[in-house]
C-alpha cells in the first residue's frame, strides 16, 4: 500500500477521527524609506501549524500541538 499523505482525501480522513489542523504563512517586508538611520529593506516571514485533537470519550483533556518557524531572506 502506498502512503496517502500527499494524495487522496487525507484531510477529511483525519477529521473523521477528530483530528484537525490549520496552517498560516505571514510575509513581512519592512524598512525605513526616509529619515536618519539605515535605509535597507528586509523581507521575512513566519509559518504556523496547529494540530488539534479534541477531548476523547476515554480522556479528560484534548491535545493541541503548535509549531512556529521564522525566516529572513
* Whole-angstrom distance, CA of residue 50 vs CA of residue 63: 11
**CA 26 – CA 48 distance, rounded (Å):** 9
Cell of 51: 494540530
What is the structure's pLDDT at 16?
81
Domain boundaries, the chain: 45-73
Look up the pTM and report it: 0.53
Residues with Cβ within 8 Å of residue 15, at least 6 apart in sequence: none
2-35 pLDDT, tens digit each: 555 555 677 777 778 778 878 888 898 888 877 7
How many residues are there in the chain?
Answer: 73
Give me the mean pLDDT over the 56-64 stretch.
Answer: 64
Amino acid at each position: 500500500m502506498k502512503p496517502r499523505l500527499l494524495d487522496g482525501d487525507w484531510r477529511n480522513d483525519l477529521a473523521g477521527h477528530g483530528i484537525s489542523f490549520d496552517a498560516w504563512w505571514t510575509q513581512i517586508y519592512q524598512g525605513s524609506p526616509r529619515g536618519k538611520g539605515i535605509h535597507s529593506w528586509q523581507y521575512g516571514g513566519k509559518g504556523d501549524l496547529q494540530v488539534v485533537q479534541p477531548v476523547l470519550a476515554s480522556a479528560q483533556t484534548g491535545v493541541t500541538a503548535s509549531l512556529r518557524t521564522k525566516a529572513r531572506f
